[in-house]
């Protein structure tokens, strides 16, 4: 995802991801190219992570600079799962077959 995640589109993202999470076993949110994320975006991420936990769906986020800045402020305890890259996130997916 690129651009901005704020009050204008956070709900739409959360609903789309919730729909996807009901039919998948893992979810990697690549937010490394976001230029801005507001507190509504953070709330959507928390909601997504909570919903995935409810459905036992592996979930992690790949943050970029904008998301990292927001997480330092809104998530000082590092409660939201993050990984440094999509490759690292996929390597941690339980049971995912690796193609060499």
φ, ψ of residue 31 to 5 degrees: the values are -110, 20
- 38 pLDDT exceeds 70? yes
Q: How confident is the model at residue 99 (pLDDT cuts 50, 70, 90)?
A: low
**pLDDT value of residue 65:** 96
Q: What is the total count of domains within the chain? A: 1
- Say how far apart CA 88 and CA 93 lie, in whole Å: 9
13's enclosing H/E stretch is helix 10-21
How confident is the model at residue 17, as a pLDDT?
87
| Domain limits for position 13 | 4-97
* Tens digit of each residue's pLDDT (9 = 90 or more) over 56-82: 889 999 999 999 999 999 999 999 999
| pLDDT tens-digit map of 78-89 | 999 999 999 999
CATH number of the domain to which 53 belongs: 3.30.750.24
CA distance to 1, 16, 36, 81, 98, per residue, from 19 (Å): 17, 5, 24, 20, 26
């Amino acid at each position: 995802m690129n651009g901005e995640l704020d009050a204008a589109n956070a709900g739409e993202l959360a609903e789309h991801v919730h729909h996807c999470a009901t039919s998948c076993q893992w979810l990697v949110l690549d937010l490394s190219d976001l230029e801005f994320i507001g507190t509504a975006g953070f709330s959507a991420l928390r909601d997504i992570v909570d919903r995935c936990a409810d459905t036992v769906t592996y979930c992690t986020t790949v943050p970029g600079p904008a998301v990292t800045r927001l997480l330092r402020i809104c998530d000082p305890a590092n409660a939201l799962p993050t990984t440094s890259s999509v490759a690292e996130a996929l390597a941690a997916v339980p049971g995912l077959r690796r193609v060499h």
